[in-house]
């Protein structure tokens, strides 16, 4: 039964997203706010599929923490593809940092470029990477939208606890902005690299802001502790 539900969900997921992406093509020549709007439509469509097909709810906690500071960036746990869509609902068009290869994907990559996503070439030293932090600051100042980073560096399983990447600390120091950590349990319903999807509530928690002024290593330890502590609580919900 779960296999059948997963099959139906994946079918409507991909056919629906492709349809939305095609309908959104005209936004590529319009101001980016129109492309961002279609991103939120995609996110709400996936939430709808989760509810109707898998009977899974998406519950946001701590959204009030987003109003405690005027400018901030987000450091989120990363367990599935879902949060890259879902976080667009409360954040209204975050700026992503992502692998450069993703920008070359037809349709999907075009939209990522349009909304100002910042690409990095992993494990290499390039002219682009040397100007990486300057580009982040410039993009945020121009767009007035929050940056979204995944300090684990890649998607991980719900019960995995890899150390956070040091680059998150360098971004924190470079931006000199409050950081709002995000914990989640999306891997419970939508495991990474898996065809199967499961019934269960998805919880996404926005935690208290971490103010600027800490050392990079201190910041990394604090967000790692806060996010993993909250994930442990979410695992038993």
Rounded CA-CA distance 74/181 in Å is 6
CATH architecture for the domain at 2-235? 3-Layer(aba) Sandwich (3.40)
Q: Which two tokens stand for residue 138?
A: 């410039």
Helix locations, 24-153, DSSP H: 32-53, 82-86, 88-91, 108-114, 127-130, 132-143
pLDDT of residue 126: 47
Domain ranges of the chain: 2-235
pLDDT of residue 93: 87
**C-alpha 64: how far from its chain's center?**
18
Ramachandran area for residue 59 (φ above 0: left; ψ -120 to 50: alpha; else beta)? beta
pLDDT of residue 86: 96
Tens of each residue's pLDDT in the chain, 237 residues: 899 999 999 999 999 999 999 999 999 999 999 999 999 999 999 999 999 999 999 999 999 999 999 899 999 999 999 999 999 999 978 999 888 888 888 888 889 889 988 887 665 544 555 577 787 888 888 888 999 999 998 999 999 999 999 989 999 999 999 999 999 999 999 999 899 999 999 999 999 999 999 999 999 999 999 999 999 999 877
Q: What are phi and psi of 184, to 5 degrees?
A: -155, 170
């Amino acid at each position: 039964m779960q296999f059948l539900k997963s099959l139906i969900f994946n079918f409507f997921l991909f056919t629906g997203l492709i349809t939305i992406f095609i309908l959104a093509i005209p936004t590529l020549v319009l101001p980016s706010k129109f492309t961002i709007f279609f991103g939120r439509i995609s996110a709400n469509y996936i939430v709808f599929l989760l509810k109707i097909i898998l009977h899974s709810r998406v519950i946001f906690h701590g959204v009030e923490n987003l109003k405690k500071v005027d400018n901030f960036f987000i450091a989120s746990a990363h367990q599935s593809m879902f949060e890259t869509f879902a976080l667009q609902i409360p954040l209204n068009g975050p700026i992503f940092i992502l692998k450069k290869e993703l920008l070359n994907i037809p349709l999907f990559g075009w939209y990522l470029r349009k909304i100002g996503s910042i690409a990095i070439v992993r494990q290499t030293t390039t002219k682009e990477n040397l100007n990486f932090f300057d580009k982040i600051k410039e993009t945020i100042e121009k767009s007035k939208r929050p940056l979204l980073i995944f300090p684990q560096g890649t998607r991980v399983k719900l019960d995995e606890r890899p150390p956070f990447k040091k680059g998150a600390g360098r971004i924190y120091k470079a931006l000199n902005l409050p950081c709002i950590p995000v914990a989640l349990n999306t891997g419970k319903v939508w495991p990474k690299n898996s065809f199967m999807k499961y019934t269960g509530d998805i919880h996404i928690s926005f935690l208290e802001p971490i103010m600027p002024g800490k050392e990079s290593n201190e910041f990394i330890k604090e967000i790692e502790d806060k996010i993993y502590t909250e994930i442990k609580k979410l695992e038993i919900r």
